[in-house]
Structure 1
Amino acid sequence: MVETKADKPYLLSFSLGHAGDKCKEPLAIMTFAGDQAQNFHYMAQANSTFEKVGLNFTAKADRTRVAFYSVYYNTRTDDMSSLCGPVIDDVRVWFAGSKKIGAGFGFGVSVLFFWLSV
């Protein structure tokens, strides 16, 4: 949960990538912020390891739930029994059209089949 102001626009931004662990592509997550939801797919291009993505939402209350989950049941190319998934990092919530509101935070996590509520 993050602190927000009702009826105000926000941007949830984060980095999406891979952990370099031979996880089969495609890598994808479903992202939720308030009443908005969006899929993000990551396909490595050349030497890239991540890309910046974002989701715009309007807060409905003074606290907003942010959640991520992996869309696919990915396994590694060298071990078909090991589950793996995309990595999210540098998660921030910004008041749209202004500077950072102080609710930004950063963390890195490999997203496997679970909800991560922030």
Structure 2
Amino acid sequence: MVESLKAVKYIDSAHFAVPHGQRAIELVGGKESAIAQVARTIVGKTYQLTFAVGDASNSCEGSMIVEAFAGRDTLKVPYESKGKGGYKRAVLKFVATTTRTRIMFLSTYYHMRSDDFASLCGPVVDDVKLLSVRRPRRLV
């Protein structure tokens, strides 16, 4: 679900660079544009949220940061965009504290296209997976 009043772009691989598959989401409104989903989880179980962060090859250049939230845990993923496509993967491990965990993504900053200073753009989020971890390593 879209969690904001600002725009979130649904992009396809025919017109933009998409990290995986045919479609992705571009977060174009800074912290005011966010996507979220509530997932069923088991209290005390460890989960791994994996996703890709990149740019849509639409002349959106600069330092981008995507913030990922899973319940009370958060991860900031920096991405240096050259505006020509590309992506990097990120992983957020967390332990569920409730039977339903809210997963949310947002962009920290506003961005403008380098070839059109009237058009907002932003980081692309794609290939999101939430998996349960069977035997998590214990940290000493």
TM-score interval (norm. to shorter): 0.7 to 0.9
Find the residue that maps to 2:68 and give its secondary structure: strand
Q: CA deviation at 1:27?
A: 1.5
Find the residue that maps to 1:26 and give its secondary structure: strand
The match for 2:58 is 21
Change (3 A) 1:44 1:23: closer
Structure 2: gaps of 5 or more residues: 1-37, 136-140
Query: Identity of paired residues, percent?
Result: 35
Q: CA deviation at 1:90?
A: 0.7
Structure 1: gaps of 5 or more residues: 99-118
Match of 1:49 among 74, 86, 108: 86
Larger proportion of strand: 2
- Aligned pair 1:75/2:109, yes or no? no
The match for 1:65 is 102
Q: CA deviation at 1:95?
A: 0.7
Moved over 4 A (4+): none
Name the Cα RMSD after superposition: 1.7
Aligned length: 97
CA contact (8 A) 2:61 2:81 kept: no
- Aligned pair 1:88/2:88, yes or no? no
Find the residue that maps to 1:43 and give its secondary structure: strand
TM-score after normalising by structure 2: 0.64
Find the residue that maps to 1:25 and give its secondary structure: strand
The match for 2:18 is none
Change (3 A) 1:32 1:84: same
